[in-house]
A = this chain, B = another copy of it.
């Protein structure tokens, strides 16, 4: 397959950013994770509300999420698909966390994540991330135990 240079370079750079995302998440390092995000990032997250606007709201949300766990967590991404051009890119895949909650129980959960990037001042930044689980239309319950 013939790929334009911008495409190949952008894909590799976004792949590196998602590797950094995983490393930061495993370490529950909020600052490292948030440094990937643009100031005006819009998050659609797994839990309520409908959306989080801006870096402050995103940071508070990530801190809250990491506080659910004691110690480091296992975090992985499967089926990562990446598209990129010179200044715009996106990726989607299945994200998985396995960790111990502060109450000692285990959280072992998969969800879908779409992460969208723009190059700002020559640097890729996450301007939008959408994480979710689907729900069971019969029970109305979120499907927290699906596995790929």
Which residues of A are interface residues toward B (Cβ below 8 A)?
Answer: 4, 7, 42, 44-51, 81, 83-90, 92, 94, 110, 112, 114, 116, 118, 127-128, 130, 132-137, 140-144, 146, 148
Number of copies: 2
Name which of A84, A87, A90 has the most chain B CB atoms within 10 A of its CB: A90
Name which of A44, A132, A136 has the most chain B CB atoms within 10 A of its CB: A132
- Ranked nearest first, the 8 interchain pairs of A and B with the lowest CB-CB distance are A132-B132, A135-B142, A85-B85, A85-B88, A44-B112, A114-B130, A90-B116, A47-B137
Q: Is A83 a contact partner of B116 (Cβ separation < 8 A)?
A: yes
CA distance A85 to B86 in the complex (A): 7
Q: Is B128 a contact partner of A48 (Cβ separation < 8 A)?
A: no
Least CB distance, A21 to chain B, in whole angstroms: 17
Cβ contacts under 8 Å, A132 to chain B = 44, 112, 130, 132-134
Contact of A88 among B83, B127, B135, B136 (CB under 8 A): B83
